[in-house]
Amino acid sequence: MKVLSADKIREWDQYTISHEPVSSIELMERAARACVQWIEKTGYQEQHFNIFCGKGNNGGDGLAIARLLTARKYPVKVFILEFGHKGTDDFQVNLARLHEYPEVEIKFIQSNDHFPSLDKDEIIIDALFGSGLNRGLEGVTAELVDHLNNTGCRVISVDIPSGLFVDRSSKGNKVIRADHTLAFQCYKPAFLVAENGPYTGDVAILDIGLHPDFYRIANAEMEMIDKEHVRSLYKPRNRFAHKGKFGHVLLIVGSHGKMGAAILTAKACLRCGAGLVTCHVPKSGYEIMQSSVPEAMVITDPNNSMITKIDEDLSKYNVIGIGPGIGTVRETKQALQELFKTFQKPMVLDADALNCLASEYKLIKQIPPGSILTPHPKEFERWFGESKNDFERIELARQKANELNLVIILKGHHTLVASPGGKLYFNSTGNPGMAKAGTGDVLTGVLSGLLAQGYSSFDAALLGVYLHGLAGDLAAENFSEEGIIATDIINQLAQSFKIFNSN
């Protein structure tokens, strides 16, 4: 699913108007009908609706929604921001249509003296400003946003919460805090970044019949990883295949007190289909690994408690996954430096492997091309410096993936995958219950297992983050978001692969 900028969305509207053909006012009517249908399906129809409108086309959507709700006998009040100028043509048409329903009370807001007092059981529909907003809210408008946010009412925003920019940071803006955002046709970049999470609430994408031809030809720098996409990447197994066909993974994992991370990584790697898995662990981890993951082979470091030397024949391995639980002591850092000199196939680097390299940018440039890095935001900052906001961090991930010829997976609610070619993908699976120790170790195992089976680094990243998130969603269904642990995610990985055989 493509993620489109504000300019592209406007182009899509115009393309639909000229190629269907359909008038802009008819397109607005479709949007309003879709919103009202969502309201009825979601069960909000018993409440009183207070619809707040600006005088742009977003306000026109709000007026059309008010008329359609009134026609269905729902109690509606409309509040229009009034600054002494006419609205857009479509706004004025919908205002005239609404005047045909005298039971609707229409009030104009010119100052904070006109702010209504609302009961917290009433519903606010926010249609003040849509995707066309290009500057922060000020004056009475900003005061109105504060007032609405403090009412305690549930808020439904139409198109986008008023005050949010579509494709750049809105930090410092006055923004409506929506419980639900009813967006049209596709995701917008603003919905995918953590800094906007307090404002967007649950996002519903409503189909309003924009022309499909534009979507097919539109160039998009961002996309969502969805079921259809990962199905196109999946490689079914040949029924005559043997374990040697699915790769041999070396996992360099664990240290004294952190062997749990090694176990999680190895189990996840096997669950994702790797033919063979060998774990390089400290001597003290030998019995732990042999008893906890009998399907994996184990080789031990000369040191009892940490990784210090990797001197076995590396040519037999298709991929190395490294980082979970290894710590950041000097001896381990030196072992990594030597590893980069002798192994030039793609690696998966996570957790402590990233932390070991954070202060040595020259070592980062020695990472084999096509390797996958999996930092969370703080680890990303240690590598590449601080960013002022999420949008800046996303752009930096794009630049560094391209510069270093690496795939960067920036972990979060909508995990970002940045490709060396500059394309950005956001994951559509996963939930807050996965924000727990060990889930990153599981992802390292998943990615290593997929890489070993012959997926390209980028395809392994896309497929891996989707399956990892889906396994987390399945686990949450069984145990709740609060109750799931990393082991539950591993146990659902096999189930997540079944999407490739379902309708």
Q: 104-153: per-residue pLDDT in tens?
A: 999 999 999 999 999 999 999 999 999 989 899 999 999 999 999 999 99
Which pLDDT score, from 0 to 100, does residue 444 have?
A: 98
Q: Tell me: the pLDDT tens digits for 170-216? A: 999 999 999 999 999 999 999 999 999 999 999 999 999 999 999 99
422, 402 in Cβ contact below 8 A?
A: yes
Side chain identity at 297, as an amino acid letter?
M
The average pLDDT across 332-346 equals: 91
Does the pLDDT at position 359 exceed 70? Answer: no
Annotate 91-105 with DSSP letters as a single string.
Answer: HHHHHHHHTT-TTSE
- The answer to whether residue 402 scores a pLDDT higher than 80 is yes
pLDDT at 502 > cutoff 80: no
**Better-scored residue on pLDDT, 293 or 239:** 293
Q: What is the pTM assigned to this prediction?
A: 0.93
Of the listed ranges 34-48, 159-173, 353-367, 393-407, the one predicted with least confidence = 353-367
Output the pLDDT for position 351: 80
Q: How many CA within 13 A on the CB side of residue 207?
A: 4
Domains in the chain (CATH in brackets) are 2-220 (3.40.50.10260), 227-501 (3.40.1190.20)
Instruction: Answer whether residue 75 shows pLDDT above 80.
Output: yes
| Cα three-residue angle 41-44-47, rounded to 5 degrees | 150
In this prediction, residues 458-482 reach a mean pLDDT of 97
Q: Is the pLDDT of residue 240 over 90?
A: no
From 95-99, 122-126, 234-238, 470-474, the region with the lowest mean pLDDT: 234-238
> How confident is residue 503, by pLDDT bands cut at 50, 70 and 90?
low
User: Which pair of structure tokens corresponds to residue 91?
Assistant: 């706004």
Beta strands in 19-75 (DSSP E): 49-53
Place of tokens 């607005």: 28
Amino acid at 43: G
Q: How far is the C-alpha of 62 from the C-alpha of 60, rounded, in Å?
A: 5
- For the ranges 43-52, 326-335, 444-453, the one whose mean pLDDT is highest: 444-453
pLDDT score recorded for residue 334? 92
pLDDT of residue 225: 96
Mean pLDDT of the chain: 94
CB 244 within 8 A of CB 28: no
Residue 451 or residue 341, greater confidence: 451
More confident site: 465 or 384? 465
Average pLDDT over residues 142-168: 97
So what's the pLDDT on residue 84?
83
Give tens-digit pLDDT for 91-101: 999 999 999 99
Radius of gyration of the chain (CA): 26
Task: Out of 43-47, 196-200, 302-306, 487-491, pick the least confident.
Answer: 43-47
Q: What are phi and psi of 281, to 5 degrees?
A: -135, 165
pLDDT of residue 95: 97
Q: Report the percent of the chain where pLDDT is more than 70.
A: 99
Q: Which one, of 182, 180, 166, 179, lies nearest residue 33 by Cα?
A: 182
The predicted structure's pLDDT at residue 241:
80
* 383 pLDDT higher than 90: no
